[in-house]
């Protein structure tokens, strides 16, 4: 089976994800017709957050490892770009390579130290590592400390990013590559063993495999995907601060996954769409209905999330599948 | 492999000790399983049978003593290393991959057996090489007909058979079976006895079982464990006639029949 047919097979099994990716490819046409360039900005943010959530989903959804510190990898990915530029190093492709290498290495170290534990201990250790990195960057005055550092749009030769649409399609291409990579990985031998470990680690051991090796590898891949999202995020936001790796950002990624459908291919991306649209529209909606409470849109947002978790098991992907199943 | 390793015992334990505080779970145990024989390990509840199996398997470390597999000391090896050295195990409570289908269970076992589990590209479950090996694994216990069934839909006995198939997948020299008949109905028990009987000669089996009928039909040799220590070891006939065993175990009216 060649690479091409593996990818075709993967796409055929993940039509929903394929549809969303196609939707993002065509979206700028719509926002162009409606003359709403801000929509593209929102779509880019959705794609970036979706990409990071997809990375986390490999360990959280498929591997069953509840990592509560993945925003740290997004942050390190972004800071790699900022710090590279700080020292006059401007090549965007090299930034991405540096981000991938740094997050891969960091994922290896954190994974190696934390994956010996499980359950609540694992959650706490990953959170602790993320907080350490957060406070490290808060204290690094050279790189802006608490205030963060501004970033110039990097030089992605031969793509000149002066046109925001080119940045849009750079991010889109990154998302497509991550999607294809993940849909292949989860069905490979490695991916199937990783999922087996989630359900029954002792049986995998009894087969003569070392679960830790698979978990660490999954953790590293996941960290690198988040690093890529972070590197692209830096170019999109043209700014990075420690806030990007605050623990609440890690929580956001987890909420996005659960909202969209944990352990599914399309879930994190659909979750990112829903999460950011709600975040965008709810305040406006509140402003119309009850202007005095517009700032407290979280009052509605919270119960919506709880509702999805309680009543739409399998998240929005599960909900869509059930609606589709009823129709056919 | 030397001639001696091939003809000598597949498993030999010597001077094995394990205590939990004041409780001696394993007391100076010596035991041998010959290649291809079925060796039953019996004893009342709490005698330390499962604890002994866990030490052989590697999920529990003995305080002292030696564990040799085909003549080689394995006491320092991890569970996966011991599995690759030739130990297969079934557990007291069925231990299979419950979220997967029967064939997927076997495909993963086959990928593990061939040592090629670290691959990231080709889909595993539709890989003809793996599927062919997986069908062989399943047919060894006769459940290849249930290949596409999700494990959650299997009957108890079928789950037990799948677990046995997975334990056999790595072509072990020694198979540790921890109460394979537990919870099975009379028909399932007969079926399981037949399948274990057919493995005789292929693989050395250490069988923990409470069903005395099964033990005496299957075992070439029987070792009796009481309070962590071996009180008798011999052929089924010798064991049945052993006064100490009768006193300590068979004759007692607590759970000999359980």
DSSP B180: T
Gap between the Cα atoms of A288 and B206, Å rounded: 74
Closest-CA residue of chain A to B84: A208
Rounded to 10 deg, the angle between the A15-33 and A3-13 helix axes is 80
The shortest CB-CB distance from A189 to any of B96, B98, B119 is to B119
| Percent share of chain B, pLDDT over 70 | 93
- Length of chain B equals 258
Taking residue B57's Cβ as centre, other Cβ atoms within 10 Å add up to 22
* Residue-level pLDDT at B2: 43
Topology of domain B1-86+173-258 in CATH is: Rossmann fold (3.40.50)
Q: Number of C-alpha atoms within 13 angstroms, CB side, residue A184?
A: 19
- Which tokens sit at A318? 């599960």
**pLDDT band (50, 70, 90) for residue A305:** confident
Closest-CA residue of chain B to A187: B123
Q: For A71-123, how does the pLDDT look when each residue is reduced to its tens digit (9 = 90+)?
A: 999 999 999 999 999 999 989 999 999 999 999 999 999 999 999 998 899 99
List of chain A residues whose C-beta atoms are within 8 Å of the C-beta of residue B113:
207-208
Burial class (CB in 10 A: 0-12, 13-18, 19+), A262: buried
Radius of gyration for the alpha carbons in chain B, expressed in angstroms and rounded: 19
Contact yes or no for B108 and A207 at CB 8 A:
yes
A201 Cα to chain B: minimum distance (Å): 9
B146 Cα to chain A: minimum distance (Å): 19
* Residue-level pLDDT at B250: 56
List of chain A residues whose C-beta atoms are within 8 Å of the C-beta of residue B78:
210
* Residue-level pLDDT at A158: 82
Contact yes or no for B109 and A193 at CB 8 A:
no
Interface residues from chain A to B (CB-CB < 8 Å) = 1, 3, 6, 9, 184-185, 187-193, 195-196, 198-200, 202-210, 213-214, 217
Domain ranges of chain A: 3-243
Gap between the Cα atoms of A180 and A7, Å rounded: 7
A51 Cα to chain B: minimum distance (Å): 20
List of chain A residues whose C-beta atoms are within 8 Å of the C-beta of residue B123:
1, 6, 9, 184, 187-188
Q: For B97-156, how does the pLDDT look when each residue is reduced to its tens digit (9 = 90+)?
A: 999 999 999 999 999 999 889 999 889 998 999 999 999 999 999 999 999 999 999 999
Judged by average pLDDT, the poorest of A29-38, B52-61, B244-253 is: B244-253
Query: Taking CA A269 as the corner, what is the angle to CA A263 and CA A271, rounded to the nearest 5 degrees?
Result: 80
Best mutation target, A13, A199, A206, A213, to test chain B (most B CBs within 10 A): A206
Task: Assess whether pLDDT exceeds 60 at residue B218.
Answer: yes
Spatial CB neighbours of A33, under 8 Å, sequence gap ≥ 6: none
Gap between the Cα atoms of A56 and A62, Å rounded: 9
DSSP B12: E
Contact yes or no for B79 and A207 at CB 8 A:
no
List of chain A residues whose C-beta atoms are within 8 Å of the C-beta of residue B168:
none
Closest-CA residue of chain A to B94: A203
Q: Which of residues 10-49 of B touch A (CB under 8 A)?
A: none
Contact yes or no for B120 and A196 at CB 8 A:
no
A183 Cα to chain B: minimum distance (Å): 10
Contact criterion met (CB below 8 Å) for A52 and A178: no
Task: Assess whether pLDDT exceeds 80 at residue B91.
Answer: yes
Nearest to A68 by CA among A27, A102, A105, A110: A110
**pLDDT band (50, 70, 90) for residue B255:** very low
List of chain B residues whose C-beta atoms are within 8 Å of the C-beta of residue A205:
79-80, 83
B106 Cα to chain A: minimum distance (Å): 10
- Length of chain A equals 328
A261 Cα to chain B: minimum distance (Å): 17
Contact yes or no for A206 and B99 at CB 8 A:
no
Contact yes or no for A188 and B121 at CB 8 A:
yes
Gap between the Cα atoms of A70 and A57, Å rounded: 10
Spatial CB neighbours of A114, under 8 Å, sequence gap ≥ 6: A122, A125, A126, A129
List of chain B residues whose C-beta atoms are within 8 Å of the C-beta of residue A187:
123-125
List of chain B residues whose C-beta atoms are within 8 Å of the C-beta of residue A199:
97-100
Burial class (CB in 10 A: 0-12, 13-18, 19+), A241: buried
DSSP B8: S
Task: Assess whether pLDDT exceeds 80 at residue A50.
Answer: yes
Contact yes or no for A188 and B123 at CB 8 A:
yes
A1 Cα to chain B: minimum distance (Å): 7
* Residue-level pLDDT at A274: 94
Domain ranges of chain B: 1-86+173-258, 96-169
Contact yes or no for B95 and A190 at CB 8 A:
no
* Residue-level pLDDT at A326: 67
Which has more pLDDT, B210 or B7? B210
Nearest to A98 by CA among A227, A285, A268: A227
Contact yes or no for B123 and A217 at CB 8 A:
no
Task: Assess whether pLDDT exceeds 50 at residue B184.
Answer: yes
* Residue-level pLDDT at A314: 86
List of chain B residues whose C-beta atoms are within 8 Å of the C-beta of residue A204:
108, 112
Contact yes or no for A196 and B122 at CB 8 A:
no
Radius of gyration for the alpha carbons in chain A, expressed in angstroms and rounded: 20
Best mutation target, A64, A189, A190, A217, to test chain B (most B CBs within 10 A): A189
Gap between the Cα atoms of A225 and A49, Å rounded: 11
Gap between the Cα atoms of B29 and B47, Å rounded: 12
Closest-CA residue of chain A to B168: A207
* Residue-level pLDDT at A41: 94
Q: For B38-60, how does the pLDDT look when each residue is reduced to its tens digit (9 = 90+)?
A: 999 999 888 999 999 999 999 99
Contact yes or no for B121 and A199 at CB 8 A:
no
Task: Assess whether pLDDT exceeds 80 at residue B252.
Answer: no
Judged by average pLDDT, the poorest of A160-169, B31-40, B79-88 is: A160-169
Question: Is the interface score ipTM higher than 0.85?
Answer: yes
- Which tokens sit at A211? 């679960």
Contact criterion met (CB below 8 Å) for A123 and A63: no
Contact criterion met (CB below 8 Å) for A71 and A254: no
Gap between the Cα atoms of A283 and A296, Å rounded: 8
Contact yes or no for A202 and B95 at CB 8 A:
yes
Closest-CA residue of chain B to A210: B80
Best mutation target, A13, A186, A207, to test chain B (most B CBs within 10 A): A207
Contact yes or no for A184 and B120 at CB 8 A:
yes
Query: Taking CA B167 as the corner, what is the angle to CA B209 and CA B70, rounded to the nearest 5 degrees?
Result: 85
Nearest to B70 by CA among B150, B138, B149, B7: B7
């Amino acid at each position: 089976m060649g690479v091409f047919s593996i990818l075709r097979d993967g796409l055929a099994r993940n039509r929903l994800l394929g549809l969303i990716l196609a939707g993002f490819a065509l979206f700028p046409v719509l926002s162009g017709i409606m003359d709403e360039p801000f929509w593209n900005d929102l779509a880019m943010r959705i794609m970036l957050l979706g990409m990071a959530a997809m990375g986390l989903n490999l360990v959280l959804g498929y591997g069953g490892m509840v990592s509560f510190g993945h925003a740290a990898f997004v942050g390190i990915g972004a800071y790699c770009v900022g710090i590279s530029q700080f020292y006059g190093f401007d090549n965007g492709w090299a930034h991405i390579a540096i981000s991938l290498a740094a997050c891969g290495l960091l994922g290896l170290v954190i994974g190696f130290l934390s994956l010996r534990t499980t359950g609540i201990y694992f959650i706490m250790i990953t959170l602790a590592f993320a907080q350490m990195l957060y406070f490290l960057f808060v204290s690094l005055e050279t790189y802006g400390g608490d205030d963060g550092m501004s970033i110039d749009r990097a030089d992605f030769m031969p793509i000149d990013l002066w046109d925001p649409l080119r940045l849009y399609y750079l991010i889109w291409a990154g998302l497509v590559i991550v999607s294809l990579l993940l849909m292949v990985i989860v069905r490979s031998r490695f991916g199937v063993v990783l999922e087996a470990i989630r359900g029954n680690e002792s049986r995998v051991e009894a087969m003569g495999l070392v679960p830790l090796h698979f978990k660490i590898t999954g953790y590293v891949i996941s960290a690198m995907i988040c690093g890529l999202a972070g590197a692209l995020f830096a170019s999109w936001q043209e700014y990075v601060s420690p806030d990007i790796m605050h623990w609440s950002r890690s929580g956001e990624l987890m909420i996005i996954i659960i909202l969209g459908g944990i352990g599914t291919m399309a879930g994190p991306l659909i979750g990112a769409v829903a999460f950011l649209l709600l975040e965008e529209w709810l305040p406006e909606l509140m402003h119309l209905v009850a202007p005095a409470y517009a700032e407290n849109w979280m009052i509605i947002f919270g119960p919506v999330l709880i509702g999805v978790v309680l009543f739409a098991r399998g998240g929005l992907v599960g909900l869509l599948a059930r609606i589709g199943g009823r129709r056919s | 492999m030397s001639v001696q390793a091939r003809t000598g015992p597949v498993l030999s334990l010597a001077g094995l000790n394990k205590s939990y505080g004041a409780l001696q779970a394993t007391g100076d145990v010596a035991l041998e399983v010959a290649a291809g024989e079925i060796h039953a390990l019996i004893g009342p509840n709490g005698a330390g049978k499962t604890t002994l199996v866990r030490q052989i398997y590697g999920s529990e470390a003995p305080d002292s003593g030696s564990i040799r597999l085909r003549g080689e000391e394995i006491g320092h090896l991890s569970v996966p290393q011991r599995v690759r050295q030739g130990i297969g195990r079934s557990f007291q409570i069925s231990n299979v991959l419950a979220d997967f289908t029967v064939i997927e269970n076997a495909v993963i076992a086959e990928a593990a057996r061939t040592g090629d589990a670290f691959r990231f590209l080709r889909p595993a479950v539709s890989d003809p090489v793996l599927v062919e090996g997986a069908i062989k694994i399943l047919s060894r216990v006769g459940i290849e007909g249930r290949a596409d069934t999700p494990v959650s839909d299997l009957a108890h006995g079928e789950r037990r058979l799948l677990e046995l198939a997975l334990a056999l997948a790595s072509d072990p020299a020694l198979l540790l079976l921890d109460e394979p008949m537990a919870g099975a109905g009379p028909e399932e028990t007969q079926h399981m006895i037949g399948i274990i009987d057919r493995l005789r000669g292929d693989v050395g089996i250490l069988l923990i079982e409470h069903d005395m009928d099964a033990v005496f039909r299957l075992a070439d040799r029987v070792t009796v464990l009481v309070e962590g220590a071996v009180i008798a070891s011999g052929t089924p006939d010798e064991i049945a006639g052993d006064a100490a065993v009768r006193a300590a175990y068979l004759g007692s009216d607590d759970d000999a029949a359980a």
